[in-house]
Amino acid sequence: MDEKSVLFNEVESLSDVLFSISDYIHDNPELGNEEFKAVQKITETLGNYGFTIEKGIAGLETAFIATYKNGLGGPVIGLLCEYDALMDLGHGCGHNLQSASVLGAAIALSRHLSHKDVTIQVIGTPAEETTSGKIPMANGGYFDHLDVALMMHGGDRTTVDGRSLAVDNFEFEFIGKESHAAVAPEQGISALDGVLMTFNGMEYLREHVRTDVRIHGIITDGGKAPNIVPKRATAKFSVRAKDRKYLNEVVERVFNVAKGAALATGTKVIIHTLKSLENKLNVQSLNDLLLENAHFSGAKNITPPRERTGSTDFSIVTHRVPGACIRVSFVPYGTSNHTEEWVKASKSSDGNEAILVAAKTLSGTCLDLVYSPELLDRIKAEFIVAKQTLESSSEELVSTN
List, for residues 78-120, the tens digit of each pLDDT value: 999 999 999 999 999 999 999 999 999 999 999 999 899 999 9
Measured from the Cβ of residue 255, the count of other Cβ atoms closer than 10 Å reads: 15
pLDDT of residue 309: 79
**Given this model, what pLDDT does residue 161 score?**
82
Q: Which CATH number fits domain 166-277: 3.30.70.360, 3.30.70.100, 3.40.605.10, 1.20.1250.20?
A: 3.30.70.360
User: Rounded to an integer, what is the distance from CA 161 to the centroid of its chain?
Assistant: 11
- Which sign does the torsion angle of CA 74, 359, 163, 131 carry? negative
pLDDT digits (tens, 9 = 90+) for 211-251: 999 999 999 999 999 999 999 999 999 999 988 999 999 99
DSSP state of 202: H
pLDDT at residue 314, rounded to an integer: 93
CATH number of 3-164+280-390: 3.40.630.10
pLDDT band at residue 163 using 50, 70 and 90 as cut-offs: confident
Please say if the pLDDT value at position 400 is more than 50: no
pLDDT band at 185 (very low <50, low <70, confident <90, very high): very high
Burial of 267 (0-12, 13-18, 19+ CB in 10 A): buried
Total residue length of the chain:
401
Domain range list for the chain: 3-164+280-390, 166-277
pLDDT at residue 307 greater than cutoff 90: no
Instruction: Single out the residue of 56, 239, 218, 197 nearest to residue 136, CA to CA.
Output: 56
Average pLDDT over residues 1-13: 92
Widest distance between CA atoms in the chain: 85
Bridge-based pairing of strands 323-329 and 179-180 is unpaired
CA-based nearest residue to 216, from 310, 102, 81, 77: 310
What totals of helices (H) and strands (E) does the chain contain, helices first? 12, 13
Tell me how crowded residue 5 is: count the other CB atoms within 10 A of its CB: 11
pLDDT of residue 401: 45
Give the Cα separation of 7 and 36 in Å (integer). Answer: 31
pLDDT at 396 over 90: no
Half-sphere exposure of 16 (CA within 13 A, CB side): 1
Asked if pLDDT for residue 149 goes beyond 70, the answer is yes
Q: 13-69: per-residue pLDDT in tens?
A: 999 999 999 999 999 999 999 999 999 999 999 999 999 999 999 999 999 999 999
